[in-house]
Structure 1
Amino acid sequence: MRFDLHTHHYRCGHAVGDIRDYIEAAIAADLQVIGISDHTPYFGSDEDQPFPNTTMGKSELKNYVQEVLDLQKEYAGKIDVLLGIESDYFPDHARLYQQTLSQYPFDYIIGSVHFSDGYSIFDRTRWEGMDTAAQVAAKTEYFRLIGESAKSGMFQILGHIDAMKSNYPAFTEIQAPQALDQMLQTIAESGVAIEVNTSGKIKVCGLWHPVDDILERAHHFGVEVSFGSDSHIAQRVGDDLDLVAQKLRDIGYTEWVYYKQKQRQAVAL
């Protein structure tokens, strides 16, 4: 069973193509399951779309859901199209996000931390002038937020759990082993999966999310793993799927998971 649960399209403002383009690319890549998971609207503002190049407008959410459901029916028998969404984890707005998203029949929700300590995790300027202690504190807080998101009960999958390295590769070298282990233990205890997200290969770091060392620790703690290309162009659907599967086998994983109607589906590697 070949699947990809992390794809975007034009509504978020920073991806290219229609949902149909990603479904057709998945069929061409010989996938049996394709998950559509565009970014949620930002619910923490009264504006419909305060960040037009980052998230869809609130008025578009119902249209997004309906389009995926319509395509799900159209492609039945050809490929299993799943209704997903990628949601930020904002502690101050978590209840609002949970209440709003619960109104829709999502197969799964990917929870991603994109902001920590008031900065985008992709903002490399945050590291300027930091000494070692401050770097460790920043990494520790980021991992703490991810662990908190796992405990929230909002998500089935956690997205790109070391994406802070995307534009700052030195993030990987910051030593915070206790914070890492605590995060992974919390994720395991919460029964949430992490994704291997291959979009990191096209970022400054040039590596999948998470790095191999984190995957090995995740396996040690019994954390389940899923797969997502995080495609923002249809050509990347399923990117490096087979290489990821082999890496997980090498680490010791025997299966990975996806979610349908929020029910865990295990697939042998």
Structure 2
Amino acid sequence: MLIDYHVHALAHGEYEYSFSWIEEYLRRAQAQNIAQIGFSEHDWFEERIDIELVKGVAARSEFCRMMVRVGIEVDYKPGREPEISRILAQKPYDFVIGSVHHLGEWPFDHPDHKNGFLQREIDEIYQEYYAMIDRAVKSNLFDVVGHLDLIKVWGFKPTARQENHFIKPLLRGMRMSGTVVEINTGGLRKPVKEMYPSELLLRDLFAHNIPITFGSDAHHPEELGSGLSAALQTAWKVGYRKASGFTRRQSTSYPLSEIRQGIS
């Protein structure tokens, strides 16, 4: 019973919602033993998210045992809070992922802009990034923090000690707010070749009793569920025994033992 709450059927805009396209995702989910799937398009595609279409496909008898949810991934920037609130009020989303993809006007995870890491001190970049995540959490707009340490995407890293120093205030904020953090396996397909967050950070999350969920960050059916078995095993090794699912912005905990049985 794998769960995948980070799925982009529209990818970067090159695909469209259609009955056959969503059906392809759900059939792939069945083949991957995924019992819960959450579509989470980027917020700049909000007008193209068709919740009723997804529900229509999910209602087919062949998918009756699968939990199909529709959320949204929102790019957080300071000052966007009113706009984000407006976006979230437009549709009955099951969950909302808050992510940081920009520092100022710098889209740090875009391949055309990775040289920006060579123009500043790495510690300074990480400190700014985690401060931005902290602001996103404290906005209380989001249910899930997306790819917590995305800033490492190109392999530029501070020392572990420095990163721990930057993330401590954030951990306290997440614990107090009840925010869920996803284990996002998309990083395994990026130059860094690691999950988000790292196992070291995941141990910090567990120590602070911060709940988790899972997401493959799939942008195509072939990527759906990629790396989730490894993510599950890592979570279990760290000490987690539950993972979160969502319905209408409410989280529910599911035993990891059941999920582990599904991949044994």
Identical positions, percent:
25
1:33 maps to amino acid: Q
Kindly tell me: are residues 14 and 127 of structure 1, through their superposed partners in 2, closer, same or farther at Cα, counting changes over 3 Å? Answer: farther
Aligned to 1:9: 9
Deviation at 1:234, TM superposition (A): 0.6
**Equivalence for 1:34:** 37
**Structure-2 residue corresponding to 1:212:** 199
Does 2:54 correspond to 1:68? yes
Q: Which amino acid aligns with 1:124?
A: K
SS in 2 for 1:27: helix
Tell me the secondary structure at the aligned position of residue 102 of structure 1.
Answer: helix
Q: Does 1:24 align with 2:14?
A: no
**Given residue 95 of structure 1, which amino acid in structure 2 is its aligned partner?**
P
Instruction: Report SS of the residue matched to 2:8.
Output: coil
Give 1:44's aligned residue: none
Is 1:89–1:113's contact at 8 Å kept on the other side of the alignment?
yes
Q: Partner amino acid for 1:152?
A: S
Q: Which amino acid aligns with 2:23?
A: R
Residue 240 of structure 1: CA displacement? 2.1
Does 1 or 2 have the higher relative contact order (CA < 8 Å, sep 6+)?
Answer: 2
Q: Distance in 2 between matches of 1:59 and 1:191?
A: 29
Cα distance change, pair 235–11 in 1 and its aligned pair in 2 (3 A): closer
Structure 2: gaps spanning 5 or more residues: 257-264
Query: Is the CA contact 2:188–2:227 (under 8 Å) kept in the aligned structure 1?
Result: no
Alignment-derived partner of residue 201 in structure 1: 188
Residue deviations 1:177-218 (CA, integer Å, cap 9, x gap):
222111121111111111000010110101111111110111
Paired residues for 1:214-253 under 5 Å: 214-253=201-240
Match of 1:135 in 2: 122
Q: Which secondary structure does the structure 1 equivalent of 2:90 belong to?
A: coil
Q: Deviations over 1:124-146 (max 9, x none)?
A: 2112243xxx3222111110111
- The one-letter code sitting in structure 2 at the alignment partner of 1:78 is R
Are the equivalent residues in 2 in contact too, given 1:6–1:231 (CA < 8 A)? yes
RMSD (CA atoms): 2.0
Contact 1:257/1:267, CA 8 A, preserved across alignment: yes
In structure 2, distance between residues paired with 1:10 and 1:146: 25
Could you tell me which amino acid in structure 2 is paired with residue 21 of structure 1?
A: E
Question: How many pairs were matched up?
Answer: 248
Q: Which residue matches 2:261?
A: none
State the secondary structure of the residue aligned to 1:171.
coil
Residue 100 of structure 1 deviates from its aligned partner by 2.2
Task: Name which of structure 1's ranges 10-19 and 77-86 shifts more when overlaid on structure 2.
Answer: 10-19
Runs of 4+ in 1 over 3 A off after TM superposition: 14-17
